[in-house]
Amino acid sequence: MKEGPNIARIAALIGDPARANMLTALMTGKALTASELAAEAGVTLQTASSHLTKLDQGGLLRQRKQGRHKYFALAHDDVASVLEALMGLAAGQGHLRTRIGPKDPELRRARVCYNHLAGDLGIQMYDSMTSRGFLKHDDKVLTLTDQGRNFITKFGIDLTGLDQQKAPMCLECLDWSERRSHLAGSLGRALLSHMEALGWVKRTQGSRVVSVTSKGQTAFAKAFPAQ
Amino acid sequence: MKEGPNIARIAALIGDPARANMLTALMTGKALTASELAAEAGVTLQTASSHLTKLDQGGLLRQRKQGRHKYFALAHDDVASVLEALMGLAAGQGHLRTRIGPKDPELRRARVCYNHLAGDLGIQMYDSMTSRGFLKHDDKVLTLTDQGRNFITKFGIDLTGLDQQKAPMCLECLDWSERRSHLAGSLGRALLSHMEALGWVKRTQGSRVVSVTSKGQTAFAKAFPAQ
DNA sequence: TTCATAGTTCGATCATAATCGAAGCGTGAA
DNA sequence: TTCACGCTTCGATTATGATCGAACTATGAA
């Protein structure tokens, strides 16, 4: 009988304040990195790492490694249901605690992700290029079509340099805030730096925010129209 | 930041195996004495007393003293909801080796779950409606088909009221005793209250048991035949 | 009264696990 | 290559709390 029933296991996982904070932060549906979750929970990265391992082994989280970041999200809707039920009960008891404010809307709009463009803008670019046949998505491999090469060259990017690199030119990168794909790889990086050179966007030092200039606003919409 | 959010407090209360056993035992809706709960949890009376004090202070239990006995019951339906959600999650993970489902056969047969019908009866209703094409399960979204709308209307439920509500009409709810789906959402609630109005079922006060009248027995089988 | 039963309180023991510093690992950028 | 960064692992400390024996209180029965 020392072997507790499984609901105790799960409840105990949620029952630690640090872990509860992390799970609460993940209820927005967005995936967050280990560092972000550590900050949310108010513990060091080491401690957070330990907690995240436990939550993952407990089946409450789904994780995805991307570059040197590790993104965590709730494993399933069931998990959110439990949290919601708990919050309902807690709220009914009047011990309500306000949640932390929403993320920076600027970050949501456009941000740097490994030197390429992510956020709303990144997705719009990806979608526009895909639907116009510039990018082709075959069997998990993303390639630039001939039409696409033409478009990119006209846009002012020299593809010969990129062709010679060993690193893949086109990669898909899953945008966790939007849960959609955007363009990574050397072409993704080249596009961002070129747009910066054109004065369309400005990268904010020490932040991941990419701000769009008024000139960039219209130029971008023209170059990458939503279909 | 040491001050944990309230959901951690509650989850931690449920997170102890002994307490989880007690709470599980109380899910039948019956009130149990401290000694009985101690036996259920497999701990001594002293330990049980300590746990029960904590559960009570945490607002999860309601207690009634009668003679030299002290009876405990779940404080509210919210508490049962949390436990049910936890059990659903635990069952979904396949980590279940402990007893599943309520011991009480009445509860297993039919019970209230968020104001809709759960247990054998709830599943039979769901299965019957699904296999007759009244409910359609597409891409995680459950919808009422035109045939279904027709059926429900003939059954005596006014759908216009439900259509106007923001809350989803059809939701799936995992039945923790049977590990099958049953119908939740506003339609699920409407069906239960309508069957109550028809005199098919009776909800037992202070308990989650739904008892089926003899009239309801046959009527239900006719309205929701197993295919 | 005396006894038995139901439950609580106290105190000591013991196990668990939360925490963080320090060091190590892997990836990306220059 | 070197450096920076994100994250993990290890180890030690520390706090918490689950557990039960023993003593105590309260209620009911004889």
CATH code of the domain covering residue B49: 1.10.10.10
Q: Which residue has the higher pLDDT, B112 or A157?
A: A157
Domain count, chain B: 2
> Does ipTM exceed 0.85?
no
The reply to whether A1 falls in a domain is: no
Residue B52: pLDDT over 80: yes
Query: Does B198 lie in the same domain as B122?
Result: yes
Residue A35: pLDDT over 80: yes
The reply to whether B97 falls in a domain is: no
Average pLDDT over residues B183-198: 88
B21 neighbors A4 (Cβ within 8 angstroms): yes
Query: Does A136 lie in the same domain as A96?
Result: no
Query: Does A125 lie in the same domain as A66?
Result: no
The reply to whether B98 falls in a domain is: no
Query: Does A119 lie in the same domain as A43?
Result: no
Nucleotide nearest to A32 (CA to C1'): D6
Q: Which residue has the higher pLDDT, B191 or A168?
A: B191
Query: Does A126 lie in the same domain as A61?
Result: no
CB proximity A143–strand C (7 Å threshold): no
Query: Does B56 lie in the same domain as B143?
Result: no
The reply to whether B39 falls in a domain is: yes
User: For the ranges A19-33, A209-223, B158-172, which has the lowest average pLDDT?
Assistant: B158-172
Residue at a domain's end among A85, A102, A119: A102
The reply to whether B207 falls in a domain is: yes
Query: Does A180 lie in the same domain as A196?
Result: yes
Locate tokens 């339609």: which residue? B187
Confidence label for A46 from pLDDT (cuts 50, 70 and 90)? very high
Dump pLDDT digits (tens) for B164-187. 776 678 877 655 555 566 788 789
Query: Does A188 lie in the same domain as A147?
Result: yes
Query: Domain span at residue B53?
Result: 6-75
Q: How far is A78 from chain B (nearest CA, A)?
A: 6
Chain A positions in Cβ-Cβ contact with residue B21 (cut-off 8 Å): 1, 4-5, 8
The reply to whether B12 falls in a domain is: yes
Of residues 159 to 218 in chain A, which lie within 7 A of strand C by their beta carbon? none
Query: Does A146 lie in the same domain as A92?
Result: no
Query: Does B139 lie in the same domain as B188?
Result: yes
Query: Does A119 lie in the same domain as A66?
Result: no
Provide the mean pLDDT of chain A: 79
Residue B127: pLDDT over 90: no
Residue at a domain's end among A102, A137, A152: A102
Confidence label for A15 from pLDDT (cuts 50, 70 and 90)? very high
> Of A21, A10, A55, which is closest to residue B83 (Cα–Cα)?
A10
Confidence label for A113 from pLDDT (cuts 50, 70 and 90)? low
The reply to whether A131 falls in a domain is: yes
